[in-house]
Amino acid sequence: MELYGRDVFIVHFGELWLRGRNRGEYISALNRNLREATGDKCLIINLRDRLAVVTDDKDKTRESLGHLFGISKFELARVSKPSLQAIRKTAEEMLLGKTGRLRIDAHRSYKELPFDSMDVVRCIAESIEGTGVTPSPRDHSMELSVSITKDHAFLSLERFKGLGGLPVGTSGKSVILLSGGIDSPVAAWYAMKRGAEPIYIHLHAYSDNDEAIASKISDITDILSSYYPHFKAYYLPSHFFQLAALKAGRHELVMLKRFMIMLAEKIANAESAPLIFTGESIGQVASQTPSNLLAEGYGVKLPIIRPLSGMDKEEIISVAKRIGTYEHSIIPYKDVCSINSKNPHTRTSVDTIKKLSAEMGLSRIASRTLKAAKVVER
Ligand code: ATP
Ligand code: MG
262 and 331 share one domain: yes
Q: Which ligand is nearest to the CA of 185?
A: 1
268 and 292 share one domain: yes
- Amino acid identity for residue 178 in this structure: L
In contact, 65 and 21? CB cutoff 8 Å: no
pLDDT tens track for 12-39: 987 655 567 788 888 899 999 999 998 7
**310: CA distance to ligand 2 center in Å?**
17
Ligand 1 nearest-atom number relative to CA 338: 10
Q: Domain span at residue 73?
A: 7-164
Which residues touch 317 (CB under 8 Å, ≥6 apart)? Answer: 182, 326
241 and 146 share one domain: no
160 and 177 share one domain: no
pLDDT tens track for 190-202: 999 999 999 999 9
**287: CA distance to ligand 1 center in Å?**
10
Asked if residue 278 has its Cβ within 6 Å of ligand 1, the reply is: yes
The pLDDT assigned to 339 comes to 56
Question: Which of 177, 362, 178 shows the shortest CA–CA distance to 252?
Answer: 362
Asked if residue 309 has its Cβ within 6 Å of ligand 1, the reply is: no
**193: CA distance to ligand 1 center in Å?**
20
d(CA 212, CA 361): 25
**Nearest CA owner, ligand 1 atom 12:** 280
Residue where one domain finishes, among candidates 164, 194, 211: 164
Residue where one domain finishes, among candidates 164, 181, 209: 164
Residue where one domain finishes, among candidates 164, 197, 216: 164
Ligand 1 nearest-atom number relative to CA 238: 27
Mutating to test ligand 1, I would choose from 174, 175, 182, 183 the residue with most ligand atoms within 8 A of its C-beta, which is 183
- Domain assignment present for residue 369? The answer is yes
Mutating to test ligand 1, I would choose from 177, 199, 305 the residue with most ligand atoms within 8 A of its C-beta, which is 177
351 and 260 share one domain: yes
Classify strands 374-377 and 153-164 as parallel, antiparallel or unpaired: unpaired
The pLDDT assigned to 341 comes to 59
What string of pLDDT tens digits covers the 378 residues of the chain?
788 999 999 999 876 555 677 888 888 999 999 999 987 778 898 887 789 999 989 999 999 999 999 999 999 999 999 999 999 999 999 999 999 999 999 999 888 999 999 999 999 999 998 899 999 988 999 999 999 999 999 999 999 999 999 999 999 999 999 999 999 999 999 999 999 999 999 999 999 999 999 999 999 999 999 999 999 999 999 999 999 998 888 889 889 999 999 999 999 999 999 999 999 988 777 667 888 888 889 889 999 999 999 999 999 999 999 999 999 999 999 888 765 556 777 888 889 999 999 999 999 999 999 999 999 999
- Domain assignment present for residue 123? The answer is yes
**179: CA distance to ligand 2 center in Å?**
6
- Domain assignment present for residue 204? The answer is yes
**181: CA distance to ligand 2 center in Å?**
4
What's the domain count of the chain? 2
- For 100: left if phi > 0, alpha if psi spans -120 to 50, otherwise beta; the answer is left
- Domain assignment present for residue 130? The answer is yes
220 and 350 share one domain: yes
**Nearest CA owner, ligand 1 atom 11:** 287
The pLDDT assigned to 19 comes to 60
Asked if residue 285 has its Cβ within 6 Å of ligand 1, the reply is: yes
304 and 349 share one domain: yes
The pLDDT assigned to 349 comes to 87
Helices 84-95 and 117-127 sit at what angle, rounded to 10 degrees?
40
- Please give the radius of gyration of the chain, using alpha carbons only, rounded to the nearest integer: 26
214 and 145 share one domain: no
Asked if residue 236 has its Cβ within 6 Å of ligand 1, the reply is: no
Q: Which ligand is nearest to the CA of 340?
A: 1
Classify strands 232-237 and 153-164 as parallel, antiparallel or unpaired: unpaired
The pLDDT assigned to 266 comes to 98
d(CA 143, CA 138): 10
Asked if residue 280 has its Cβ within 6 Å of ligand 1, the reply is: yes
Q: Which ligand is nearest to the CA of 281?
A: 1
pTM beyond cutoff 0.75: yes
181 and 112 share one domain: no
In contact, 208 and 351? CB cutoff 8 Å: no
51 and 135 share one domain: yes
**27: CA distance to ligand 2 center in Å?**
36
pLDDT tens track for 281-312: 887 776 678 888 888 898 899 999 999 999 99
The pLDDT assigned to 271 comes to 98
In contact, 48 and 149? CB cutoff 8 Å: yes
In contact, 188 and 224? CB cutoff 8 Å: yes
